Chains A and B, each alone.
Chain A
Amino acid sequence: MSLLDTPLWEVIKGSFAPEIWQRLKPAIGETLYMVTLSSIIMLVLGLFLGILLTVTNPDGLIPMKILYTGSGWVINCLRSLPQMIMIILMIPVARLFFGKSYGVNACIIAIAASCIPMYARLVESSLLEIAKGKVEAARSIGSTNIQIIFRILIPETAPSLIRGFTVAVIAVISMTALAGMFGAGGIGDIAVRFGYQRFQHDVLFATVYILIILVQLVQWIGNFASKQILKKRNLI
């Protein structure tokens, strides 16, 4: 169904047709797979980079000016690239890893490369929120730097870290949809092939519903988790 020859209402009704959803099923699976895997990679590397930025800060636990400035510069460079250019840039990199420059796994590299730097900055700003006195107390007790990072810094800022991760996962979802244009499969691929190339707007609408639900769900889970922790700690 196309909006060119069908009224909006009919297209909307049509977008709930079982055949469409049957066709979307594997795409949803692919998208969830890409989002999950990219998010896990982003979580691990983003946390690592964010911690690195925080502790090597001139006012941080282990001031290391060169590493701090260097990693900050690299992150800023990566962040200044629009997502689409990042995907194009990552095509040769993906070929190096997988021997082919398209497909789900190749796009995960592009998504990670684009979202890790952003998440690293979010982690950094969360970790910097910690009250200086807590770190001071941990130091006065004789904690090593590793103990301060993993037993104080991360648990104390967990609600804020979770909110940051939520924002980042939503960015991953939107990037996954974009990557669909470059052969990554998933919902974005369907939207482009049917919605854009064949004017099947009922299919396009269905992909929009899925993306909205996905983002809402992630946001809701993130808010809920962060709020539960604050509640448990009697902070709200």
Chain B
Amino acid sequence: MMDAYIQISDLHKTYHTHNGSLNVLKGINLTVHKGEIFGIIGFSGAGKSTLARCINRLEVPDSGSIRVGGVDILSLSKKELLLERRKIGMIFQTFNLFEAKTVYRNIAYPLEISRVPQNEIRRRVLETAELVGLMDKLNAYPGGLSGGQKQRVGIARALVSNPDLLLSDEATSALDPQTTLQILDLLKQINRTTGITILMITHELDAIRYTCDRMAVLEDGQIIETGSVRDIFNNPLSRTGSIFARVYTEFQRASEENGSGI
């Protein structure tokens, strides 16, 4: 039996906007094991990003509980939360790099704000840059990088402080298929070598199928299916699951007919 690394129970979140309130998460229950790559799939607006943002408390849920590695995220003080966030890396669809800083300084930033000594920063940055394949770009600014390179910087910035958990919110959705594959390979490799737990949020079935061990289907603020990737692909119980699976098989047939294949 594996450890439950992330444990979310009965999580609710409502956004209050000027045109009424929006019930985005409606009682989420989720368990992610240590060291696995867990996928969450769902249509646009299902609440995937909101769920991810609750895990490092970028968004404060209304009720429920979130435990990450035994830490009760929602009861942390402000100061404790800042320290806890440094143990949870996050990567984004839009990369969100700091354009005023070189690649080196982007990767170094998480260590700089934690007052790590300069020589230790240097060692860690070079190590991480090596891992993601950015050694030749350290002095470049993000503005001059390709999408794939930008996401490598994002990954390096998320990994440099040796987090135990990586939250990936549509990290490959802005990339072309070939670059997507490279980034997914990189995530898999990092997961294998460091044992980091990865929560991968996406609407790309391919990405989940290629990368994840287990997955959950999120529909309209609720987890409607959880299980191994293989089971959900072969026997989707939920509507979203079956739609995704059907779309996926059709998509694959079409791409095989066109001889392009992904």
Would A158 and B86 count as touching, CB distance under 8 A?
no
What's the Cα separation between A232 and B95 when bound, in Å? 20
CB neighbours (8 Å) of A138 from chain B are 98, 109
Would B99 and A141 count as touching, CB distance under 8 A?
no
Which of B84, B85, B95, B113 has the most chain A CB within a 10 Å cutoff? B113
CB neighbours (8 Å) of B88 from chain A are 140
Residue of A nearest to B143 (CB): A234
Taking A151-B109, A151-B113, A234-B144 as contacts, is the C-beta distance between A142 and B86 under 8 angstroms? yes
What's the Cα separation between A136 and B90 when bound, in Å? 10
Indicate whether B69 reaches chain A with its CB closer than 8 angstroms.
no
Give which listed residue, A140, A232, A235, contacts B58 with CB less than 8 A.
Answer: A140
Would B100 and A133 count as touching, CB distance under 8 A?
no
Indicate whether B148 reaches chain A with its CB closer than 8 angstroms.
no
Q: Is the interface of A mostly helix, strand, loop or mixed?
A: helix
Indicate whether B35 reaches chain A with its CB closer than 8 angstroms.
no
A interface footprint on B103-124 (CB within 8 Å = 1, 0 otherwise): 0000001101110000000000
Indicate whether B83 reaches chain A with its CB closer than 8 angstroms.
yes
Would B141 and A142 count as touching, CB distance under 8 A?
no
What's the Cα separation between A147 and B111 when bound, in Å? 12
What's the Cα separation between A138 and B110 when bound, in Å? 8
Taking A140-B56, A234-B144, A235-B143 as contacts, is the C-beta distance between A156 and B99 under 8 angstroms? yes
Taking A233-B99, A235-B99 as contacts, is the C-beta distance between A133 and B113 under 8 angstroms? no
Give which listed residue, A134, A136, A142, contacts B113 with CB less than 8 A.
Answer: A142
Would B90 and A155 count as touching, CB distance under 8 A?
no
Indicate whether A152 reaches chain B with its CB closer than 8 angstroms.
yes
Taking A155-B101, A233-B143, A234-B140 as contacts, is the C-beta distance between A141 and B110 under 8 angstroms? yes
Indicate whether B152 reaches chain A with its CB closer than 8 angstroms.
no
Which of A141, A151, A156, A233 has the most chain B CB within a 10 Å cutoff? A141
What's the Cα separation between A137 and B110 when bound, in Å? 10
What's the Cα separation between A203 and B143 when bound, in Å? 50
- Taking the closest CB of chain A, its distance from the CB of B200, in whole angstroms, is 16
Indicate whether B92 reaches chain A with its CB closer than 8 angstroms.
yes
Would B85 and A140 count as touching, CB distance under 8 A?
yes
CB neighbours (8 Å) of B99 from chain A are 134, 156, 233, 235
Closest 4 CB pairs of A and B: A234-B143, A234-B144, A142-B85, A133-B96
